[in-house]
């Protein structure tokens, strides 16, 4: 379970997450966005926001697996620093066709929401993720 600001290691986020959407009305649809605002590194986030996942038309009271995956899940692989991974949930006005952006880097959630008339987010949560120590980097030779 993800709680705001929790720490998850890369092996814990390899697989597509199971996301449940609240509500009790199957006729209400939601869009889920997962972005990394710290790509490629928190000190130089020139790829901000990096889009890791985009799912639309998620019926209320179900989960992301019941929606339309517009951009498939790509697990975070931070190479430097602590990255925030942010889930943002929007309520849609109804079913709609959403087109995949041509790239994942420099995705702007705010512009995306405006383009598809999604309004303000109805929910958001983030977790922290960083490269595990002992992987990559310099190695001493004996």
pLDDT in tens, 79-124: 899 999 999 999 999 999 999 999 999 999 999 999 999 999 999 9
| Other beta carbons less than 10 A from residue 133's beta carbon | 7
* DSSP 3-state percent helix, strand, coil across the chain (nearest 5): 10, 30, 60
Helices (H), 28-140: 109-115
In a domain, 14, yes or no: no
What backbone phi and psi angles, to 5 degrees, belong to 110?
-60, -45
CA distances from 111 to 43, 106, 117, 142 (A): 23, 11, 10, 53
pLDDT over 70 at 137, yes or no? no
Residues with Cβ within 8 Å of 40's Cβ and at least 6 positions away in sequence, in order, are 46, 47, 50, 79, 80
How many domains are there within the chain?
A: 1
- At residue 138, does pLDDT exceed 50? no
Q: Is residue 56 part of a domain?
A: yes
Domain containing residue 55: 39-93+115-120
* C-alpha to C-alpha distance for 121 and 130, rounded to whole angstroms: 26
**pLDDT given at position 134:** 55
Per-residue pLDDT tens digits for 23-74: 878 899 999 999 999 999 999 999 999 999 999 999 999 999 999 999 999 9
More confident residue, 134 or 55: 55
Q: Domain of 56: which CATH number?
A: 3.90.280.10
Q: Do the domain assignments include residue 106?
A: no
Closest C-alpha to 16, from 32, 5, 30: 32
Largest CA distance in the chain: 64
């Amino acid at each position: 379970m993800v709680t705001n600001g929790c720490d998850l290691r890369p092996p814990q986020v390899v697989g597509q997450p199971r996301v449940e959407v609240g509500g009790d009305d199957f006729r209400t649809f939601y869009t889920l966005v997962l972005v990394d605002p710290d790509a490629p590194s928190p000190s130089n986030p020139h790829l901000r926001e990096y889009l890791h996942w985009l799912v639309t038309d998620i019926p209320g009271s179900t989960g992301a697996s019941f929606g339309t995956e517009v951009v498939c899940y790509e697990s975070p692989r931070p190479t430097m620093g602590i990255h925030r991974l942010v889930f943002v949930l929007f309520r849609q006005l109804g079913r709609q066709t959403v087109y995949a952006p041509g790239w994942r880097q420099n995705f702007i959630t705010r512009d995306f929401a405006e383009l598809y008339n999604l309004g303000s987010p109805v929910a958001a949560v983030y977790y922290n993720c960083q490269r595990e120590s002992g992987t990559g980097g310099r190695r001493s030779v004996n």
